[in-house]
């Protein structure tokens, strides 16, 4: 008996070859019907025998490219059933008024395109913009949904006859590929002096080989590239860009990475995934080879941030140079990533010695994503190219926009049960980053058809921005004056909750630098208890200490060390429970260093020391009245007769033990980890190991960053789930 079904599919189902897959699957099964992109989903109508339709429905989520998150299936009955279909067709896309739940992740070059790129007999041999349904830029070139050529920057490049024939051929890899192009009809590489394509690549490679700094416009924004084996060129890049942080390596191939770092299964999978992120790897100690590359790139951290080429442009450069490159974001310190040709040439004129440009318009800039494997799983530390935007389904319902905090800011919004998390923007210290931030607050909801977010005058108009409690954060200052607020560490906890969604009671360790608590004091080392209704209370914290007042206090852990040792400092101070500041203060007190050249340098070097040895100095926190007391650590921390690495490892072990003892006081076996401190791999893995022995289910975020990059999402969910403070409820009773 003939039956007709209508399927609505949501998830990462546009820009990944989903419609061609549906076409081929339906055709193989002998089904008729049609598939169509909408702004908010993909619609499929299939017609055939019931048993065959069941097979189609079962295979669809298992075999489809991308990521199917939700399928709604309806059997059409008269008078809804259309006349009998003649074959299966891909229909023209159409817009709709619904909230777009499709995911547009930029994807690194696939193996098939790379093979064509390297094949002298292929018509796309060495073509810098080679792409297909499985790879290429997506979000970076999308102007509106649905994701079709006319809604992207590719519309400026009408396909030639050969490309059009491939586009229309169901048997071709580029059947209905939005990014289809070739050297005859596609974008061009060029340099300011007029060189094009291969000649332009030759010029850029020659400049790098000669020790120069080259600004290269990639598929999501600009990189500054230099020879990673040239320490003088790296030093020049640091001076001109005013960057002290570790730099990332663009490796020529996986073999090079394996020779210079420890690569296990999860790391290799992350490196070679379509995201092509920067992956933080444990560094191999290789004598001269290490000093030639790693020492000038990331000294003292024990790690290398490495990525494989994500585009044919990068492959073209690496094939010419046959050496690793330093790849850092194309911007000046404290400003957002550049992605426009003219603005980059103007801004980077004093940094870059040469430019490699192209004429494919980028609608936004996306920094490289950053991942670190912890407990055998990749954790997203920065949501950039390939990882953002993200779409999550959460049970609460609201219409809110999360404004983030002040550092590592991004934007998120929730409409009903749909949570959309935008890409990393940066720290809101400078005017240009704040300008980009304001633009993102408008563009992200607009792309997903959510409109603007402002507080309504009535309950029916319930729509609002959500900010941090801190009144001086730029995100708070820029928000609507009627914005709602969520405490910083509650937002951290709820960001971790998004992925795991435990039923209360459960606990959350929220450890970071600083955040304003609802009691008006500075928090940062909290153990929060949540009940079944997501009401929360502060179960425990750590013994407060005096934090010297000043915007640059994070740069000088030596000042905190002096306070911890019982000394005083001139000027004002505030009481705080910051775990991040405590860790760096104790490391400085141990003799590591008293000043950070970049954010969290001391903490990273402290972890690297701890990971470098199996010996651990004996020490322990005190625990009294639910408060972790760091004072018992001081005699051992300050004992210079004990190896510094052994003290570092002993501290990490003591911290993990103390945290779990504190959690054991609360109710529930699930412990969520969130906050910038949990970028520390050693600490996370110790908590996982020790927690398992104590029958505690320790869970950590993977998709959302544990740092402040998850705050905007946590703000949305906290409002949507009506998370409330128990003490507030008691006062109102």
Percentage of the residues of the chain whose pLDDT score is greater than 90: 80
Mean pLDDT of 275-291: 73
Q: Which residues contact 564 (CB under 8 A, 6 or more apart)?
A: 545, 582, 585, 586, 589, 630, 634
Segment 337-356 mean pLDDT:
97
Element of type H or E holding 217: strand 214-217
* CA atoms of 538 and 656, how far apart (whole Å): 19
pLDDT the model gives residue 727: 62
Q: Is the pLDDT of residue 287 over 50?
A: no
pLDDT attached to residue 729: 41
Confidence at 291, pLDDT banded by 50, 70, 90? very low
pLDDT beyond 50 at 174: yes
* CA separation for the pair 104, 579 (Å, rounded): 37
SS3 359: coil
* 62 three-state secondary structure: helix
Span 44-55, average pLDDT: 94
Report DSSP letters for 77-105, one per residue. Answer: -TTSPPSPP-SEEEPPPB--SSPP-----
Report whether pLDDT(731) > 70. Answer: no
Q: What are 330's two structure tokens?
A: 């194309």
Tell me the C-alpha distance between 237 and 178, whole Å. 37
State the residue for tokens 């990462």: 12
- Asked if 676 and 354 touch (Cβ cutoff 8 Å), the reply is no
- Answer whether residue 460 shows pLDDT above 50: no
Query: What's the mean pLDDT in 589-616?
Result: 95
∠ CA 121-123-128, nearest 5°, is 115
Cα 532 to Cα 667: distance, rounded to the nearest angstrom: 11
Does residue 260 carry a pLDDT above 50? yes
Q: Return the closest-CA partner of residue 330 out of 228, 201, 243.
A: 243
Whether the per-residue pLDDT at 421 is higher than 80: the answer is yes
Strand arrangement, sheet containing 222-227:
189-190, 354-358, 214-217, 222-227, 325-329, 248-250, 303-307, 278-282, 370-374, 377-382
pLDDT tens readout for residues 382-415: 999 999 999 898 988 889 999 999 999 999 999 9
Residue 439, number of CB atoms within 10 A of its CB: 14
Number of CB atoms found within 10 A of residue 381's CB: 24
Instruction: Give the pLDDT confidence of 492-516 residue by residue, as tens digits.
Output: 999 999 999 999 899 999 999 999 9
**CA distance to 99, 127, 257, 325, per residue, from 391 (Å):** 11, 33, 32, 33
Q: Per DSSP, what are the bridge partners of residue 70?
A: 10
With beta carbons less than 8 A apart as the criterion, state whether 675 and 706 touch: yes
pLDDT of residue 334: 86
Residue 122 has pLDDT above 90, yes or no: yes
Q: What is the pLDDT of residue 292?
A: 59
Is the model's pLDDT at 286 over the cut of 50? no
Q: What confidence score (pLDDT) does residue 572 get?
A: 87
Both tokens of residue 504? 């209360």
Average pLDDT, integer, range 68-73: 88
Can you give the pLDDT at residue 70?
Answer: 84
pLDDT of residue 476: 95
| First-to-final CA distance of the chain | 63
pLDDT tens across 464-491, in order?
Answer: 899 999 999 999 999 988 899 999 999 9
Question: Could you report the per-residue pLDDT of 619-670, keeping only the tens digit for each?
Answer: 999 998 789 999 999 999 999 999 999 999 999 999 999 999 999 999 999 9
- Mean pLDDT, all residues of the chain: 92
What's the pLDDT at 81?
61
């Amino acid at each position: 008996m003939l039956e007709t079904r209508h399927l609505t599919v949501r998830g990462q189902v546009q820009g990944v070859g989903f419609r061609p897959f549906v076409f081929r699957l339906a055709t193989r099964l002998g089904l008729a019907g049609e598939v169509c992109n909408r702004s908010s989903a993909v619609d499929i109508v299939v017609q055939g025998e019931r048993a065959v339709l069941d097979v189609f429905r079962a295979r669809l989520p298992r075999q489809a490219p991308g990521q199917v998150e939700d399928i709604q299936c309806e059997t059409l009955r008269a008078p809804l059933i259309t006349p009998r279909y003649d074959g299966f067709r891909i229909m023209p896309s159409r817009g709709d008024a619904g909230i777009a739940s499709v995911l547009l992740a930029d994807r690194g070059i696939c193996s098939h395109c790379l093979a064509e790129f390297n094949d002298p007999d292929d018509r796309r041999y060495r073509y810098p913009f080679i792409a297909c349904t499985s790879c290429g830029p997506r979000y970076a070139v999308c102007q509106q949904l649905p994701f079709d050529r006319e809604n992207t920057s590719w519309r400026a490049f009408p396909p030639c006859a050969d490309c059009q024939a491939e586009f229309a051929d169901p048997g071709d890899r580029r059947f209905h590929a939005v990014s289809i192009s070739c050297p005859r009809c596609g974008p061009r590489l060029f340099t300011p002096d007029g060189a094009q394509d291969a000649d332009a690549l030759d010029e850029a490679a020659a400049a790098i080989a000669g020790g120069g700094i080259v600004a290269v416009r990639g598929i999501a924004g600009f990189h500054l590239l230099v020879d990673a084996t040239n320490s003088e060129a790296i030093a020049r890049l640091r001076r001109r860009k005013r960057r002290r942080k570790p730099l990332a390596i663009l490796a020529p191939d996986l073999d090079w990475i394996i020779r210079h770092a420890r690569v296990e299964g999860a790391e290799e999978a992350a490196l070679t995934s379509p995201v092509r992120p920067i992956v933080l790897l444990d560094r191999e100690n290789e004598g001269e080879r290490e000093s030639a590359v790693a020492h000038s790139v990331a000294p003292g951290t024990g790690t290398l941030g490495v990525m494989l080429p994500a585009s044919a442009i990068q492959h073209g450069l690496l094939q010419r140079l046959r050496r690793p490159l330093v790849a850092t974001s194309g911007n000046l310190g404290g400003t957002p990533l550049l992605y426009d040709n003219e603005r980059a040439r103007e801004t980077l004129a004093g940094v870059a010695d040469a430019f490699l440009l192209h004429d494919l318009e980028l609608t936004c800039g996306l920094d490289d994503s950053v991942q670190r494997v912890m407990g055998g799983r990749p954790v997203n530390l920065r949501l950039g190219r390939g990882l953002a935007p993200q779409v999550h389904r959460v049970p609460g319902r609201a219409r809110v926009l999360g404004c983030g905090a002040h550092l590592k800011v991004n934007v998120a919004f929730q409409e009903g049960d749909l949570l959309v998390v935008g890409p990393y923007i940066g720290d809101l210290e400078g005017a240009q980053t704040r300008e980009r931030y304001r633009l993102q607050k408008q563009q992200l909801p607009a792309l997903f058809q959510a409109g603007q977010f402002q507080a309504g005058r009535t309950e029916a108009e319930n729509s609002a921005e959500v900010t941090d409690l801190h009144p001086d954060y730029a995100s708070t200052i820029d928000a609507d004056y009627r914005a709602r607020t969520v405490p910083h560490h509650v937002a951290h906890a709820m960001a971790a909750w998004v992925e795991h969604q435990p039923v209360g009671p459960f606990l959350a360790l929220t450890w970071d630098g600083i955040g304003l608590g609802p009691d008006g004091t500075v928090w940062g080392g909290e153990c929060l208890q949540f009940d079944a209704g997501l009401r929360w209370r502060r179960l425990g914290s750590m013994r407060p200490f005096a934090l010297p007042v000043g915007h640059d206090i994070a740069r000088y852990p030596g000042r905190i060390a002096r306070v911890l040792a019982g000394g005083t400092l001139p000027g004002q101070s505030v009481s705080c429970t910051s775990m991040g500041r405590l860790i760096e203060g104790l490391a400085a007190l141990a003799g590591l260093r008293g000043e950070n050249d970049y954010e969290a340098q001391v903490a990273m070097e402290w972890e690297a020391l701890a990971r470098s040895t199996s010996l651990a100095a004996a020490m322990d926190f005190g625990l009294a009245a639910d408060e972790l007391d760091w004072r018992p650590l001081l005699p051992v921390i300050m004992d210079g007769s004990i190896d510094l690495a052994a003290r570092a490892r002993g501290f990490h072990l003591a911290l993990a033990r103390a945290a779990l003892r504190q959690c054991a006081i609360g109710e529930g076996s699930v412990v969520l980890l969130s906050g910038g401190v949990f970028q520390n791999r050693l600490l996370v893995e110790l908590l996982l190991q020790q927690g398992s022995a104590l029958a505690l289910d320790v869970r950590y975020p993977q998709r959302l960053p544990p740092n402040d990059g998850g705050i905007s999402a946590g703000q949305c969910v906290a409002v949507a789930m009506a998370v409330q403070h128990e003490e507030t409820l008691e006062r109102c009773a």
